[in-house]
Amino acid sequence: MSTNPHARFFGLLKQLPHQSKEDLVWQYSNMLTTSLSEFASKRPEAYTTMIRDLERTVNKMEEPKQPQKPSVKTTSAITKKLRSGILTRLQKHGVDTTSWAKVNSFMENPRIAGQKLYEMTDQEMIDFIPKLVCILKKDKQRQEETERLTLMN
């Protein structure tokens, strides 16, 4: 069972779409040849170095793909903090935050956010928090006014 002695090279080359065999061999052989067999036989150390460099390049190309493998349902820590901040403020406003249906019903009101909480991007949540703070301030002012009128009567 004899395999192609250059199978490793060609396997790596397939993963590098913008590279050609001739260019790589020419470069690593110091412009000696474009023949892979001739390069491997005349300069085995340089051939090994080329294989090692190609492996590093391919591994670097694969690294960014790994964090993207988790399912779409995973959320970043920033997103979780923003949602938590919104839910805390909604709870102060009197929205039942133990029920997603009630939270989303409140959030979907066009005068509030116009969309469900889980549909909001981080930037939309950042922009929405000051609006909630204003709503809470108005709630507090109304409550104080009601208390003042109650004491006067």
| CB proximity list for 62: less than 8 A, separation 6 or greater | none
More confident residue, 52 or 153: 52
Question: What number of other Cβ atoms are within 10 A of residue 125's Cβ?
Answer: 19
95: number of CA atoms within 13 Å, CB side?
Answer: 21
| Banded pLDDT at 107 (limits 50, 70, 90) | very high
Q: What is the pTM of this model?
A: 0.48
More confident residue, 131 or 71: 131
Q: Residue 64: its pLDDT value, please?
A: 55
Amino acid at 135: I
Residue 69 has pLDDT above 70, yes or no: no
Q: Residue 77: its pLDDT value, please?
A: 85
Q: What residue spans define the domains of the chain?
A: 7-67, 77-152
